[in-house]
């Protein structure tokens, strides 16, 4: 790292700037190009060494059967075949997709609901307080959110206490330990983390919409629903795209929350690809299979995110 910094240019080579600037700044820039590269280089080196190289290695590992210590054996695409045929691994990928509903759709839907009713958070002290509180889950580590909610959803936790208080003690259970409720319970944690962010982003976008659009819609006799569909949704296209992108990545690549709150259990009910990669690579020493799963996860993220980017950036933001 220090060596990369050591290459910081001194700029001595182009000190002689021309006193009479002509239209020919192209040639001047060309002269600066060599120097320019020195500015890009340190970042590029760090990126190449600690991201691109590992990325290529992941691709390479995924074609081998390797326990991390001994000799690796070439197996071609066998690991990928396993990822797409093994029922456990398919279930694990399915879990991540189910989490999208909770991490992504629920926060965006609720956020839209609040945004369309509030339109702008008051600028005064109340607004500041609202924003600060809603951002809290974004600031704390996901691990802390996991610990807090493990406690809330435990048998003695607040959720069950509340259920008993309203006479629904019958449904009370250890939500994260129950086969049927564990995955939705993990989803609720994610929804809690991302709800505030989505709400604020959407309300911020909302406050930029020209009120005249609403007046026009009202004059045309549009009800609240038409108004929402005709004015709010199209105007917030970019913000919705951002929310979906951020939250879908959070769902598919989730690790921290699951690791802390359930460790993937009970059974494989809440195991997600990120956790399985960690397990395969570091506990079960199946580095090849772990890498194949990692590649699939990476492609899955791109397959979800790229179309959203396209749709939401259709016109220049």
Partner 1 sequence: MNLSRREQLTGRVFLIALIVVTLLPFVSMLSAALQPRGTVPSGLEWPSDPQWGNFADAFTAANMGALLRSSLLIVAGVVPVSVLIATMAGFGLGQLRVPGGRLVFGLFLLGLTLPFEAVVTPLYYQMQDLGLLNTRWAIILPLIGLYMPFAVFWMRAHFTNVPVELSEAARVDGSSTWQLFWRVQVPLARPAIASLTILMFLWTWNQFLLAIVLVDDATKRTMAGALGAFQGQWGTDLVLLCAGSLLILTPTLIVFLIFQRQFIKALIQGSVKG
Burial (0-12, 13-18, 19+ Cβ within 10 Å), 223: exposed
Nearest residue (CB) to partner 1, 61 versus 103 = 61
CA 219/CA 106 separation, integer angstroms: 32
CA 127/CA 113 separation, integer angstroms: 18
Nearest residue (CB) to partner 1, 181 versus 207 = 207
Minimal distance in Å, beta carbon 266 to partner 1?
A: 16
Minimal distance in Å, beta carbon 235 to partner 1?
A: 15
Minimal distance in Å, beta carbon 248 to partner 1?
A: 10
Minimal distance in Å, beta carbon 156 to partner 1?
A: 5
CB atoms within 10 A of CB 300: 17
Nearest residue (CB) to partner 1, 130 versus 268 = 130
Minimal distance in Å, beta carbon 278 to partner 1?
A: 7
Nearest residue (CB) to partner 1, 138 versus 171 = 138
Q: Which H, E and C letters describe 65-96, residue by residue? A: ECCCCCCCEECCCHHHHHHHHCHHHHHHHHHH
Minimal distance in Å, beta carbon 213 to partner 1?
A: 11
Minimal distance in Å, beta carbon 147 to partner 1?
A: 5
Minimal distance in Å, beta carbon 198 to partner 1?
A: 9
Q: How many residues does the chain have?
A: 317
Q: Which CA distances in Å does 37 have to 27, 30, 32?
A: 16, 11, 9
Burial of 242-280, coded b for 16+ CB within 10 Å and e otherwise, reads bbbbbbbebbbbbebbbbbbbebeeebbbbbbbbbbeeb
Nearest residue (CB) to partner 1, 121 versus 183 = 121
Nearest residue (CB) to partner 1, 173 versus 218 = 218
Nearest residue (CB) to partner 1, 181 versus 238 = 238
CA 201/CA 283 separation, integer angstroms: 40
CA 268/CA 258 separation, integer angstroms: 11
Nearest residue (CB) to partner 1, 28 versus 173 = 28
């Amino acid at each position: 790292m220090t060596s990369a910094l050591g290459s910081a240019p001194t700029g001595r080579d182009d000190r002689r700037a021309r006193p009479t600037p002509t239209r020919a700044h192209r040639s001047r820039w060309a002269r600066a190009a060599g120097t320019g590269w020195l500015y890009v280089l340190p970042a590029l080196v760090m990126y190449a060494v600690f991201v691109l190289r590992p990325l290529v290695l992941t691709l390479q590992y995924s074609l081998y059967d390797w326990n991390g210590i001994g000799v690796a054996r070439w197996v071609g695409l066998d690991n990928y075949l396993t990822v797409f045929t093994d029922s456990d691994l398919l279930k694990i990928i399915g879990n991540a997709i189910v989490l999208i509903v909770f991490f992504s759709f629920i926060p965006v839907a609720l956020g839209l609901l609040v945004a369309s009713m509030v339109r702008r958070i008051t600028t005064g002290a109340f607004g500041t307080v609202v924003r600060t509180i809603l951002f809290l889950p974004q600031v704390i580590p996901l691990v802390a959110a996991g610990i807090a909610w493990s406690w809330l959803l435990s048998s003695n936790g607040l959720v069950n206490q509340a259920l008993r208080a309203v006479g629904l003690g019958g449904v009370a259970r250890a939500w994260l330990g129950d086969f049927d409720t564990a995955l939705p319970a993990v989803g609720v944690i994610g929804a809690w983390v991302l709800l505030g962010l989505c709400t604020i982003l959407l309300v911020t976008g909302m406050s930029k919409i020209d009120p005249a659009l609403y007046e026009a819609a009202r004059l045309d006799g549009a009800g609240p629903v038409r108004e929402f569909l005709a004015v709010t949704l199209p105007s917030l296209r970019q913000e919705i795209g951002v929310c979906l992108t951020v939250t879908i990545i959070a769902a598919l690549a989730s690790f921290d929350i699951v690791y802390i709150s359930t460790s993937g259990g009970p059974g494989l009910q809440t195991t997600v690809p990120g956790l399985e990669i960690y397990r395969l690579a570091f506990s079960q020493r199946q580095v090849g299979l772990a890498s194949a799963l990692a590649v699939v996860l990476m492609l899955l993220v791109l397959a979800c995110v790229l179309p959203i980017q396209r749709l939401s950036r259709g016109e220049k933001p």
